[in-house]
């Protein structure tokens, strides 16, 4: 395995974690990772050596996912999935109980642009400037979406803002 292979492979576990947080179901999440890796390999010559490889890979995943969401929004297959089919790591729900389950449901209720930022900051622990690069938005936008997203998530989890989509169904 050469240096380039190793560089990209180092990021696979994190790419899988982020993908899972976007689509939950393991097979579909790994499809997203695979699409991301294939595009990254195909365009590796376009990556500027010395620039942030993680931000580059995450921005590829963000773009592919954004396209998938646009393509699928007419037929939201995700909503019809039985909860048992979702691949939440079992250990997590056993150890941490209900709050973790609630978090998953609450994330689904957030607008995708808030959700992505909460995950990139809270889970990936990216710096705000890095998030701005990944999502191709100004840092000020990252900050305001982060602030709104966190408050929104808090209200959902505290039961103050019952997700209307679910109630209507």
Partner 1 sequence: MSNTTYTLTEADLQAYTDGQLDPLRLAAVEAWLANHRDDTERVATYRQQNATLHALLDPVLNEAIPQRLTRPQRKTWNSFPQLRYAAVAVWLVIGGTLGWFMHGAQEGHSAAAMTLAHQAVLAHAIYTPEVRHPVEVGADQEAHLTAWLSKRLGSPLKVPHLGATGFELVGGRLLPGSNGPAAQFMYQDARGQRLTLYVRTDNGSNQETAFRYAREKNIGVFYWIDGPFGYALSGDLEKPELLRVAQLVYQQLNP
CA distances, 79 to each of 25, 31, 50 (Å): 12, 19, 41
CB within 8 Å of 164: residues ≥ 6 apart: none
From the list 61, 118, 132, 134, which residue makes contact with partner 1 (rule: CB under 8 A)? 118
**What number of chain residues touch partner 1 (CB under 8 A)?**
46
Residue 117: which of 100, 96, 102, 139 has the closest Cα?
Answer: 139
Q: Can residue 85 be called a binding residue for partner 1 (CB under 8 A)?
A: no
Locate all alpha helices (DSSP H) within 83-138, ordered by sequence: 90-96, 98-109, 112-122, 128-135
Instruction: Report the site for partner 1 in 43-62 (rule: CB under 8 A).
Output: 43-45
Q: Does 153 bind partner 1 (CB under 8 A)?
A: yes
Among 7, 66, 69, 103, binds partner 1 (CB under 8 A): 103
- Kindly list the residues in this chain that would bind partner 1 in the complex (CB under 8 A): 4-5, 8-9, 12-14, 16-17, 20-21, 30, 33-34, 37-39, 41-45, 88-89, 91-92, 95-96, 99-100, 103-104, 118-119, 121-123, 125, 127-128, 143, 146-147, 150, 153-154
């Amino acid at each position: 395995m050469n240096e380039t292979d190793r560089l990209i492979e180092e990021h696979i576990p994190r790419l899988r974690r982020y993908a899972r947080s976007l689509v939950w179901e393991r097979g579909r999440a790994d499809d997203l990772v695979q699409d991301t890796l294939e595009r990254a390999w195909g365009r590796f010559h376009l990556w500027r050596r010395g620039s942030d490889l993680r931000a580059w890979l995450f921005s590829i995943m963000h773009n592919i996912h954004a396209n998938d969401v646009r393509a699928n929004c007419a037929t939201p297959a995700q909503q019809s999935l039985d909860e048992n089919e979702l691949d939440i790591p079992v250990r997590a729900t056993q150890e941490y109980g209900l709050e973790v389950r609630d978090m998953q449901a609450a994330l689904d209720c957030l607008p995708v642009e808030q959700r992505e930022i909460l995950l990139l900051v809270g889970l990936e622990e990216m710096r705000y400037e890095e998030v701005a690069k990944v999502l191709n938005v100004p840092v000020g936008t990252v900050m305001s979406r982060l602030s709104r997203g966190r408050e929104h998530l808090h209200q959902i989890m505290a039961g103050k803002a019952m997700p209307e989509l679910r109630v209507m169904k």
